[in-house]
Structure 1
């Protein structure tokens, strides 16, 4: 089964949120559209991620779609943790409606409020209603073991 799962292609995303004024970010690869009306998306965060419990306190999030120029930023959020370090210290971002960080290096982002949370084995699935979005020039990248060894 793992061999087949590894053939599923997925992008590289940095999911960000703000909780009690503190900003958090995680690199993830499991993101999907769920509905057009209302506009809904799904993100899945592994329970093995640093600070994954913190995300369960969130009410909002942004999905930052990463392109070639964002690989190092995606690596940064894949290795750092909001509880242990200020992982936004040297990261440029803007905020949309929810206050969740939208990264300068992303090629697009959606700003969401969480409408449902589902415990799903070794992951937690969050469904968010899209409140705002931004699109920039550039193409998204696919997750690979070469980029994230």
Structure 2
């Protein structure tokens, strides 16, 4: 919320274990990027997972508060593709909700 920027890295279907780290609250797992290779995005300076399929960097343009959730409305300000592959999808895991 403070920086008004974020990045999303798109993981490969074989990276479920890595994705699981990011589903847990930071208070329980500490630095989620501790053993993940990443670099900082050129536009936002946000971490981008090096071994991801690709990424988008975003600038927050608005928020919607509902209960204990915040929905961010954002503009894509940068993007890239690292490699080809099948994207990890929530429906292909046994997970119901990611946070």
Q: Bin the TM-score by the shorter chain.
A: 0.7 to 0.9
By relative contact order (CA 8 Å, sep 6+), the higher-ranking structure is: 2
Partner residue, 1:144: 91
Q: Distance in 2 between matches of 1:83 and 1:113?
A: 28
Check conservation: 1:73, 1:105, Cα contact below 8 A.
no
1:75 aligned onto 2:13: no
Q: CA deviation at 1:84?
A: 5.9
Partner residue, 2:31: 86
Check conservation: 1:68, 1:141, Cα contact below 8 A.
yes
| 1:23-53, Cα deviation, whole Å (9 max, x unpaired) | xxxxxxxxxxxxxxxxxxxxxxxxxxxxxxx
RMSD: 2.3
Number of residues paired by the alignment? 94
Query: What is the TM-score of this pair, normalised by structure 2?
Result: 0.77
Query: What is the TM-score of this pair, normalised by structure 1?
Result: 0.54
